Amino acid sequence: MKVLITRPAEDAEPLAARLRAIGIGCLIEPLMAIRVLAGAPLDLEGVQAILATSANGVRAFASRATRRDIPLYAVGDATAAAARDAGFTRIDSAGGDVIALAARVRERLDPAGGPLLHVAGSVIAKDLPLLLKGAGFVCRRAVLYEARPAKSLSPAVVCAIRAGRLNGILFFSPRTAEVFVRLARRAGLMRACRGLTLFALSRAVATKASPIRWRDCRIAATPTQDALIGLVAESRPPSKNSSTYGRS
């Protein structure tokens, strides 16, 4: 079995390593390029916690600030892992999506304890500060990076899809799924993609990928990388040679 990973390069390589460890071949095609935005030093005075809705937000913060003593609340385990790699020691993972993160903050923090800082990209799926405003929290958003969409699919990916050398594609965000559909249409791959299984992090992701008539659509039970990896593992064909697929 072989799948296409569409995550940014920083996240794609660790994911590919985990999939290859369980015998799943991977082709990596980052559909978003992450660019950290330059700016003035961040104002962290009185901030009681940092809220991170992506690993990219954590990495961007780490490039703009030296403090690691502020508690960091992560949307999920992959973001929490990025925080550990960046040197944070007080980390709490919501293990889900932005809604779960907001609930975690409301449960564990006190609005009187000080403002919160949401480290984010230029495009957001859900307004975290707005979700917390009703509970009395003051949450500032710091836009620290932007994700630039790819302008075309690489020749290697186009050939792999047309030749039927892929079994499925993994999507982690609605925006990435939307970009792929647009590029697949431009490359004349809409029909060829019908032989692929869509592995989506959430229903919102699957909806954006729905213009393609996929062979199958699998949606993770929880919006976590572990859940999506589990879906892919469950889809492996029962073959003794499943670990021999190429590692492109």
Residue 184 CB-half CA count within 13 A: 27
Q: State the DSSP code for 40.
A: S
Write the CA distances from 168 to 46, 139, 199, 216, integer angstroms. 47, 39, 7, 9
DSSP conformation class of 23: T
pLDDT given at position 98:
92
Structure tokens at 228: 């999506």
All structural domains of the chain = 2-31+150-244 (3.40.50.10090), 34-147 (3.40.50.10090)
At residue 247, the pLDDT reads 38
CA distance 206 to 229: 16
Return the pLDDT at 4: 98
Beta-carbon contacts of residue 134 (< 8 Å; ≥ 6 apart): none
Quick one: pLDDT at residue 234?
A: 94
pTM: 0.83
pLDDT per residue of the chain (248 residues) written in tens, 0 to 9 = 999 999 999 899 999 999 999 999 999 999 999 999 988 889 899 999 999 999 999 999 999 999 999 999 999 988 999 999 999 999 999 988 899 999 999 999 999 999 999 999 998 878 999 999 999 999 999 999 999 999 999 999 999 999 999 999 999 999 999 999 999 999 999 999 999 999 999 999 999 999 999 999 999 998 889 999 999 999 987 755 444 333 33
Whole-number pLDDT of residue 107: 96
- Phi–psi pair at 167, nearest 5 degrees: -100, -30
